[in-house]
Amino acid sequence: MFTSIGKYMMGFFGEIGGCTEMLRSCMFWLWRSKFEWHQTAQQCVIIGVESLGVTALTSLFTGMVLALQAGNTIGNIFGDPIFVGTIVTFSLIRELGPVLTSVVVSGRAGAAVTAQIGTMAVTEQIDALYTLGTNPIRYLVIPRMCAFVFTLPILTLFSNLFGIIGGYLVSVYALNVPGEVYLTDITSYMGVSDFMHGFIKTFAFAFMIGTVCCYKGISTRGGAEGVGKSTTGAVVTTIVLILVLDYFLTAILTAFGI
Protein backbone atom coordinates (compact mmCIF):
# COMPACT_ATOMS: atom_id res chain seq x y z
CA MET A 1 0.00 0.00 0.00
CA PHE A 2 2.82 2.39 0.95
CA THR A 3 4.51 1.60 -2.38
CA SER A 4 1.32 2.54 -4.24
CA ILE A 5 0.97 5.79 -2.28
CA GLY A 6 4.65 6.55 -2.89
CA LYS A 7 4.30 5.90 -6.63
CA TYR A 8 1.17 8.06 -6.79
CA MET A 9 2.86 10.92 -4.95
CA MET A 10 5.95 10.65 -7.18
CA GLY A 11 3.68 10.82 -10.24
CA PHE A 12 1.75 13.76 -8.81
CA PHE A 13 4.83 15.82 -7.96
CA GLY A 14 6.40 14.79 -11.28
CA GLU A 15 3.42 16.31 -13.09
CA ILE A 16 3.59 19.50 -11.00
CA GLY A 17 7.29 19.74 -11.82
CA GLY A 18 6.60 19.11 -15.51
CA CYS A 19 3.92 21.85 -15.62
CA THR A 20 6.26 24.29 -13.85
CA GLU A 21 9.07 23.51 -16.28
CA MET A 22 6.69 24.03 -19.21
CA LEU A 23 5.57 27.41 -17.80
CA ARG A 24 9.21 28.45 -17.31
CA SER A 25 9.87 27.51 -20.92
CA CYS A 26 6.76 29.50 -21.99
CA MET A 27 8.14 32.61 -20.26
CA PHE A 28 11.53 32.11 -21.92
CA TRP A 29 10.11 31.76 -25.45
CA LEU A 30 7.51 34.49 -24.95
CA TRP A 31 10.28 37.08 -24.54
CA ARG A 32 12.94 35.53 -26.74
CA SER A 33 11.05 34.87 -29.97
CA LYS A 34 8.51 36.34 -32.35
CA PHE A 35 4.94 35.86 -31.13
CA GLU A 36 2.91 33.42 -33.27
CA TRP A 37 -0.03 35.74 -34.05
CA HIS A 38 -1.40 33.58 -36.85
CA GLN A 39 -1.41 30.42 -34.73
CA THR A 40 -2.96 32.31 -31.79
CA ALA A 41 -5.74 33.77 -33.94
CA GLN A 42 -6.45 30.33 -35.38
CA GLN A 43 -6.67 28.85 -31.87
CA CYS A 44 -8.92 31.71 -30.69
CA VAL A 45 -11.39 30.66 -33.40
CA ILE A 46 -11.17 26.95 -32.51
CA ILE A 47 -11.24 27.41 -28.72
CA GLY A 48 -13.41 30.53 -28.48
CA VAL A 49 -15.66 31.12 -31.47
CA GLU A 50 -16.45 27.43 -32.03
CA SER A 51 -17.34 26.96 -28.35
CA LEU A 52 -19.82 29.85 -28.36
CA GLY A 53 -22.84 27.78 -29.43
CA VAL A 54 -22.50 25.07 -26.81
CA THR A 55 -21.71 27.51 -23.96
CA ALA A 56 -24.66 29.74 -24.95
CA LEU A 57 -27.02 26.77 -24.98
CA THR A 58 -25.75 25.49 -21.61
CA SER A 59 -26.12 28.92 -20.01
CA LEU A 60 -29.51 29.59 -21.54
CA PHE A 61 -30.94 26.48 -19.92
CA THR A 62 -29.03 27.08 -16.67
CA GLY A 63 -30.60 30.53 -16.45
CA MET A 64 -34.00 29.02 -17.26
CA VAL A 65 -33.79 26.31 -14.61
CA LEU A 66 -32.45 28.77 -12.02
CA ALA A 67 -35.41 31.07 -12.64
CA LEU A 68 -37.85 28.17 -12.47
CA GLN A 69 -36.43 26.79 -9.21
CA ALA A 70 -36.05 30.20 -7.58
CA GLY A 71 -39.47 31.38 -8.73
CA ASN A 72 -41.28 28.27 -7.50
CA THR A 73 -39.43 28.10 -4.17
CA ILE A 74 -39.87 31.78 -3.37
CA GLY A 75 -43.46 31.64 -4.61
CA ASN A 76 -44.19 28.79 -2.19
CA ILE A 77 -42.66 30.69 0.74
CA PHE A 78 -43.72 34.30 0.08
CA GLY A 79 -46.64 33.79 -2.26
CA ASP A 80 -45.00 35.70 -5.14
CA PRO A 81 -41.88 34.90 -7.21
CA ILE A 82 -39.87 37.94 -6.11
CA PHE A 83 -36.18 38.72 -6.72
CA VAL A 84 -35.90 36.09 -9.49
CA GLY A 85 -33.74 38.43 -11.62
CA THR A 86 -31.39 39.05 -8.70
CA ILE A 87 -31.00 35.37 -7.85
CA VAL A 88 -30.45 34.29 -11.46
CA THR A 89 -27.96 37.06 -12.27
CA PHE A 90 -26.13 36.83 -8.95
CA SER A 91 -25.67 33.06 -9.29
CA LEU A 92 -24.64 33.30 -12.92
CA ILE A 93 -22.23 36.21 -12.79
CA ARG A 94 -20.40 35.24 -9.61
CA GLU A 95 -20.38 31.44 -9.90
CA LEU A 96 -22.21 29.48 -12.53
CA GLY A 97 -21.18 31.54 -15.56
CA PRO A 98 -17.42 31.22 -15.04
CA VAL A 99 -17.57 27.63 -13.72
CA LEU A 100 -19.97 26.19 -16.31
CA THR A 101 -18.27 27.96 -19.21
CA SER A 102 -14.89 26.71 -18.04
CA VAL A 103 -16.18 23.15 -17.66
CA VAL A 104 -17.73 23.21 -21.14
CA VAL A 105 -14.60 24.74 -22.72
CA SER A 106 -12.41 22.25 -20.90
CA GLY A 107 -14.48 19.30 -22.15
CA ARG A 108 -14.72 20.60 -25.68
CA ALA A 109 -11.61 22.62 -26.52
CA GLY A 110 -9.28 21.41 -23.74
CA ALA A 111 -9.76 17.78 -24.74
CA ALA A 112 -9.16 18.68 -28.40
CA VAL A 113 -5.93 20.51 -27.53
CA THR A 114 -4.59 17.56 -25.52
CA ALA A 115 -5.59 15.06 -28.21
CA GLN A 116 -4.00 17.11 -30.99
CA ILE A 117 -0.70 17.81 -29.22
CA GLY A 118 -0.66 14.24 -27.87
CA THR A 119 -1.10 12.79 -31.35
CA MET A 120 1.70 15.04 -32.59
CA ALA A 121 3.91 13.74 -29.77
CA VAL A 122 3.36 10.05 -30.52
CA THR A 123 3.77 10.49 -34.29
CA GLU A 124 7.10 12.33 -33.89
CA GLN A 125 5.64 15.61 -35.19
CA ILE A 126 6.92 17.36 -32.03
CA ASP A 127 10.44 16.06 -32.77
CA ALA A 128 9.98 17.23 -36.36
CA LEU A 129 9.26 20.74 -35.07
CA TYR A 130 12.60 20.74 -33.22
CA THR A 131 14.47 19.57 -36.31
CA LEU A 132 12.84 22.31 -38.40
CA GLY A 133 14.03 25.07 -36.08
CA THR A 134 10.83 25.51 -34.09
CA ASN A 135 10.38 25.01 -30.39
CA PRO A 136 7.03 23.26 -29.73
CA ILE A 137 6.46 25.40 -26.63
CA ARG A 138 6.69 28.51 -28.79
CA TYR A 139 4.73 27.11 -31.72
CA LEU A 140 2.06 24.96 -30.01
CA VAL A 141 1.78 25.75 -26.30
CA ILE A 142 2.00 29.56 -26.10
CA PRO A 143 -0.63 30.23 -28.82
CA ARG A 144 -3.07 27.76 -27.23
CA MET A 145 -2.56 29.09 -23.70
CA CYS A 146 -3.02 32.66 -24.93
CA ALA A 147 -6.14 31.63 -26.85
CA PHE A 148 -7.65 30.16 -23.66
CA VAL A 149 -6.82 33.33 -21.67
CA PHE A 150 -8.14 35.64 -24.42
CA THR A 151 -11.36 33.80 -25.20
CA LEU A 152 -12.64 32.26 -21.94
CA PRO A 153 -13.46 35.64 -20.28
CA ILE A 154 -15.30 36.76 -23.43
CA LEU A 155 -17.15 33.45 -23.66
CA THR A 156 -18.17 33.86 -20.02
CA LEU A 157 -19.62 37.30 -20.77
CA PHE A 158 -21.76 35.80 -23.54
CA SER A 159 -22.62 32.88 -21.32
CA ASN A 160 -23.82 35.24 -18.55
CA LEU A 161 -25.88 37.17 -21.08
CA PHE A 162 -27.58 34.04 -22.41
CA GLY A 163 -28.23 32.80 -18.86
CA ILE A 164 -29.91 36.12 -17.96
CA ILE A 165 -31.99 35.91 -21.15
CA GLY A 166 -33.01 32.34 -20.22
CA GLY A 167 -34.04 33.53 -16.75
CA TYR A 168 -35.97 36.41 -18.30
CA LEU A 169 -37.92 34.08 -20.63
CA VAL A 170 -38.97 31.76 -17.80
CA SER A 171 -39.75 34.64 -15.43
CA VAL A 172 -41.91 36.49 -17.94
CA TYR A 173 -43.62 33.59 -19.74
CA ALA A 174 -43.79 30.87 -17.07
CA LEU A 175 -43.80 32.73 -13.76
CA ASN A 176 -45.67 35.82 -15.00
CA VAL A 177 -43.12 38.23 -13.52
CA PRO A 178 -43.21 41.51 -15.50
CA GLY A 179 -40.08 42.00 -17.60
CA GLU A 180 -39.36 45.42 -16.05
CA VAL A 181 -39.39 43.90 -12.56
CA TYR A 182 -36.91 41.17 -13.62
CA LEU A 183 -34.56 43.80 -15.09
CA THR A 184 -34.93 46.16 -12.12
CA ASP A 185 -34.08 43.26 -9.78
CA ILE A 186 -30.81 42.90 -11.69
CA THR A 187 -29.80 46.57 -11.87
CA SER A 188 -30.84 47.41 -8.30
CA TYR A 189 -28.93 44.72 -6.48
CA MET A 190 -25.94 43.87 -8.69
CA GLY A 191 -22.71 45.90 -8.52
CA VAL A 192 -19.48 46.13 -10.47
CA SER A 193 -17.71 44.05 -7.81
CA ASP A 194 -20.11 41.14 -8.49
CA PHE A 195 -19.19 41.31 -12.15
CA MET A 196 -15.46 41.56 -11.37
CA HIS A 197 -15.69 38.61 -8.96
CA GLY A 198 -16.70 36.26 -11.77
CA PHE A 199 -14.59 37.93 -14.43
CA ILE A 200 -11.31 37.59 -12.48
CA LYS A 201 -12.02 33.90 -11.91
CA THR A 202 -12.25 33.22 -15.64
CA PHE A 203 -8.63 34.32 -16.18
CA ALA A 204 -7.42 31.91 -13.51
CA PHE A 205 -9.52 29.06 -14.95
CA ALA A 206 -8.32 29.79 -18.50
CA PHE A 207 -4.68 29.79 -17.45
CA MET A 208 -5.13 26.52 -15.56
CA ILE A 209 -7.00 24.78 -18.43
CA GLY A 210 -4.35 25.89 -20.94
CA THR A 211 -1.48 24.73 -18.73
CA VAL A 212 -2.95 21.31 -17.85
CA CYS A 213 -4.23 20.48 -21.35
CA CYS A 214 -1.03 21.53 -23.13
CA TYR A 215 1.18 19.73 -20.59
CA LYS A 216 -0.87 16.53 -20.80
CA GLY A 217 -0.60 16.69 -24.59
CA ILE A 218 3.10 17.36 -24.81
CA SER A 219 3.97 14.67 -22.25
CA THR A 220 1.91 11.99 -24.04
CA ARG A 221 3.68 8.66 -24.62
CA GLY A 222 2.51 5.28 -25.86
CA GLY A 223 0.54 5.56 -29.11
CA ALA A 224 -3.23 5.77 -29.43
CA GLU A 225 -3.77 4.42 -25.91
CA GLY A 226 -1.49 7.12 -24.53
CA VAL A 227 -3.43 9.84 -26.36
CA GLY A 228 -6.70 8.49 -24.90
CA LYS A 229 -5.26 8.42 -21.37
CA SER A 230 -3.83 11.94 -21.66
CA THR A 231 -7.09 13.35 -22.98
CA THR A 232 -9.19 11.74 -20.25
CA GLY A 233 -6.62 12.81 -17.65
CA ALA A 234 -6.65 16.40 -18.91
CA VAL A 235 -10.46 16.70 -18.79
CA VAL A 236 -10.81 15.08 -15.36
CA THR A 237 -7.95 17.13 -13.89
CA THR A 238 -9.21 20.44 -15.25
CA ILE A 239 -12.82 19.88 -14.12
CA VAL A 240 -11.72 18.95 -10.59
CA LEU A 241 -9.28 21.88 -10.47
CA ILE A 242 -11.96 24.32 -11.69
CA LEU A 243 -14.12 23.42 -8.70
CA VAL A 244 -11.22 23.43 -6.23
CA LEU A 245 -9.85 26.74 -7.57
CA ASP A 246 -13.34 28.21 -7.51
CA TYR A 247 -13.61 27.71 -3.77
CA PHE A 248 -10.22 29.25 -2.99
CA LEU A 249 -10.70 32.14 -5.42
CA THR A 250 -14.11 32.88 -3.92
CA ALA A 251 -12.57 32.95 -0.43
CA ILE A 252 -9.70 35.21 -1.53
CA LEU A 253 -11.82 37.60 -3.62
CA THR A 254 -14.43 37.88 -0.88
CA ALA A 255 -11.68 38.65 1.65
CA PHE A 256 -10.61 41.52 -0.62
CA GLY A 257 -14.21 42.75 -0.82
CA ILE A 258 -14.70 41.78 -4.46
| Binding residues vs another protein (CB under 8 A) | 28, 32, 116, 120, 123-125, 127-128, 130-135
Three-state DSSP class for residue 54: helix
Q: Which CB atom, from 106 or from 116, has the smaller least distance to another protein?
A: 116
Smallest separation, CB 130 to another protein (Å) = 6
Nearest partner of 69 among 170, 184, 198, judged by Cα: 170
Decide whether 69 or 135 has the Cβ nearer to another protein.
135
Q: Which residue lies nearer to another protein by CB, 27 or 128? A: 128
From the CB of 147, what's the least distance to another protein, in Å?
15
Least Å from the CB of residue 125 to another protein: 5
Q: Which is nearer to another protein, 24 or 184 (CB)?
A: 24
What whole-number distance in Å separates Cα of residue 193 and Cα of residue 196? 5
To another protein, the closest distance from the beta carbon of 257 in angstroms equals: 44
| Closest of 83, 105, 84 to residue 166, by C-alpha | 84
Long-range contacts of 129-138 (CB under 8 A, 24+ apart): 135/25, 135/29, 135/33, 136/218, 137/22, 137/25, 137/26, 137/29, 137/218, 138/29, 138/33, 138/36
DSSP secondary structure code for residue 133 in this structure: T
**Residue 38 or 53 with smaller CB distance to another protein:** 38
For the chain, the straight-line distance linking the first and the last C-alpha, in angstroms and rounded, comes to 45
Q: How far is the CB of 157 from another protein (least distance, A)?
A: 29
How far, in Å, CA of 112 to CA of 23, rounded? 20
